[in-house]
C-alpha cells in the first residue's frame, strides 16, 4: 500500500483524531450556552468576537490541546511501548520521534495562538491546562488516585478556557464527573497497573469531592448556582440515563473485562458530545444543539475510517485498543 496511506492512518492513530471532536464539543457548548442561555459575562475580547470566529478559535484551541496531550503521551511512553505495544506508530517506526515532537509542540503553539484573541485569562487557562496535561503524562498517570482525578480536572479546566467568567458551571461539573467516573471504571475493568486499590478509589472519590466543592464555591460566589430556565436539568438527566442504558445493553454483556473497558471508554468519551447537546436542547437552543450533535458524525466516521484503513493495510488496529490511559480516556485528554 502507498506510504502516504500508512502515514495518514498512523497520524490519525497518534493523535486519536476521533476524540478531538469531543474536546471541540465541550468548547462549543460553553460558548453557545453562555451566549444563548445565561447572563454570564464574557471577557470583553470574547464578547466582541463574531460567533463564527469565536467557534473557529475555540475549535483551534480544543484540537491543539488534545493533539498536544496525545502525542506527548506517546513520546514519553516510546521506550515502554517498544516492549509492550510495538505496533503503535512510534515504536513500529511508521512515524518518527521527530515528527511526533514537531506535531506536539506545533499543536500546543497553535492552541496558544488561537487562545490569544479570546483574552488574557483564556490564554492563562490554556497554559494552565497544558501544564496539567504535562504533569499527567509525565507522572500523574502512574498514580491512579491522582491520575484519574486529573483527567476530569483537565477537561473542566479546558472548558473554562472558552468563558473564564462562566457562572453556571454545572455543565463543567457534569463533564468532569463523567470523565472521572468512566476512567475509574475502565481502569478497573482493564486491570491496569498499578492496581487501583480500595484506598486509591477513596482517593479518587475524595479528589472528585474536593474539586466539586471548589467549582460549587465559585458558582455560589458568582451567583450562578441556578438558572431560571424551566426543565433545564431534564436534558442532562435524559442523557445520563441514556448512557446508563447503553452501558447495560451494549457493554455489560461483554464477557472479556478488558474489551468491555475499551468499549466503555470509547462510548463514554463520545457521549460527552451527547451531554453537551442535551444541555443546549434543554435550554431551548435547538440549532446549537444540532450543531454540537453533528460532531458525532466525524467522531464515529474517523473511528470507522481508521478501522477500514487498518484492515486495508493489514496492520493491527491500535486506535482506542491499546493500554494507553490517555488514549482511552482522552482527556487532555484519554493508564487510560
Domain ranges of the chain: 3-329
> CA 298 to CA 267: how far, in whole Å?
14
Residues 6+ apart with CB under 8 A from 153: 132, 176, 211
Rounded mean pLDDT for each run of 10 residues along the chain, 336 residues in total: 74 92 97 82 72 96 97 91 84 89 96 95 96 96 96 97 92 98 96 93 98 97 90 96 95 93 95 98 96 97 85 52 38 38
Q: CA separation (Å) from 169 to 43, 60, 87, 137, 227? A: 16, 22, 41, 26, 11
User: pLDDT value at position 82?
Assistant: 83
User: pLDDT value at position 285?
Assistant: 95
> CA 35 to CA 38: how far, in whole Å?
7
Are 24 and 297 within 8 A, CB to CB? no
Please list the helix, strand and coil fractions of the chain in percent, rounded to the nearest 5, in that order. 75, 0, 25
User: pLDDT value at position 42?
Assistant: 66
What is the residue-wise DSSP string for 208-250?
Answer: HHHHHHHHHHHHHHTT-S----TTTTHHHHHHHHHHHHHIIII
User: pLDDT value at position 91?
Assistant: 87
> CA 21 to CA 79: how far, in whole Å?
29
Are 33 and 41 within 8 A, CB to CB? no
| pTM, rounded to two decimals | 0.90
Instruction: Give the right CATH number for 3-329 from 3.40.50.300, 1.10.760.10, 1.10.357.140, 1.10.1740.10.
Output: 1.10.357.140
Residues 6+ apart with CB under 8 A from 1: 312, 313
- Return the closest-CA partner of residue 121 out of 26, 45, 224: 45
User: pLDDT value at position 320?
Assistant: 39
Amino acid at each position: 500500500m502507498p506510504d502516504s496511506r500508512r502515514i495518514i492512518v498512523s497520524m490519525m492513530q497518534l493523535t486519536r483524531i476521533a476524540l478531538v471532536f469531543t474536546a471541540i464539543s465541550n468548547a462549543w457548548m460553553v460558548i453557545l450556552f453562555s451566549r444563548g442561555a445565561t447572563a454570564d459575562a464574557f471577557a470583553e475580547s470574547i464578547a466582541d468576537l463574531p460567533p463564527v470566529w469565536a467557534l473557529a478559535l475555540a475549535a483551534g484551541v480544543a484540537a491543539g490541546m488534545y493533539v498536544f496531550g496525545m502525542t506527548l503521551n506517546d513520546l514519553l511512553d516510546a521506550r515502554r511501548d517498544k516492549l509492550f505495544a510495538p505496533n503503535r506508530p512510534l515504536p513500529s517506526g511508521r512515524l518518527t520521534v521527530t515528527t511526533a515532537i514537531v506535531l506536539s509542540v506545533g499543536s500546543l503553539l497553535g492552541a496558544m495562538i488561537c487562545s490569544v484573541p479570546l483574552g488574557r485569562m483564556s490564554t492563562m487557562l490554556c497554559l494552565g491546562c497544558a501544564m496539567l496535561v504535562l504533569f499527567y503524562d509525565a507522572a500523574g498517570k502512574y498514580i491512579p488516585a491522582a491520575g484519574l482525578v486529573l483527567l476530569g480536572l483537565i477537561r473542566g479546566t479546558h472548558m473554562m478556557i472558552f468563558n473564564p467568567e462562566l457562572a453556571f458551571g454545572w455543565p463543567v461539573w457534569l463533564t468532569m464527573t463523567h470523565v472521572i467516573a468512566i476512567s475509574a471504571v475502565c481502569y478497573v475493568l482493564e486491570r491496569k497497573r498499578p492496581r487501583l486499590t480500595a484506598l486509591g478509589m477513596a482517593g479518587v472519590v475524595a479528589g472528585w469531592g474536593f474539586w466539586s466543592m471548589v467549582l460549587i464555591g465559585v458558582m455560589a460566589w458568582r451567583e450562578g448556582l441556578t438558572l431560571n430556565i424551566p426543565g433545564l436539568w431534564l436534558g442532562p438527566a435524559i442523557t445520563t440515563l441514556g448512557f446508563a442504558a447503553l452501558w447495560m445493553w451494549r457493554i455489560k454483556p461483554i464477557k472479556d473485562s478488558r474489551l468491555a473497558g475499551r468499549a466503555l471508554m470509547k462510548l463514554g468519551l463520545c457521549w460527552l458530545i451527547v451531554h453537551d447537546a442535551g444541555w443546549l436542547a434543554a435550554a431551548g437552543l435547538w440549532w446549537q444543539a444540532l450543531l454540537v450533535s453533528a460532531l458525532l458524525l466525524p467522531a464515529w466516521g474517523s473511528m470507522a475510517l481508521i478501522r477500514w484503513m487498518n484492515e486495508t493495510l493489514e496492520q493491527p488496529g491500535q486506535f482506542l485498543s491499546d493500554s494507553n490511559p490517555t488514549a482511552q480516556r482522552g482527556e487532555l485528554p484519554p493508564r487510560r
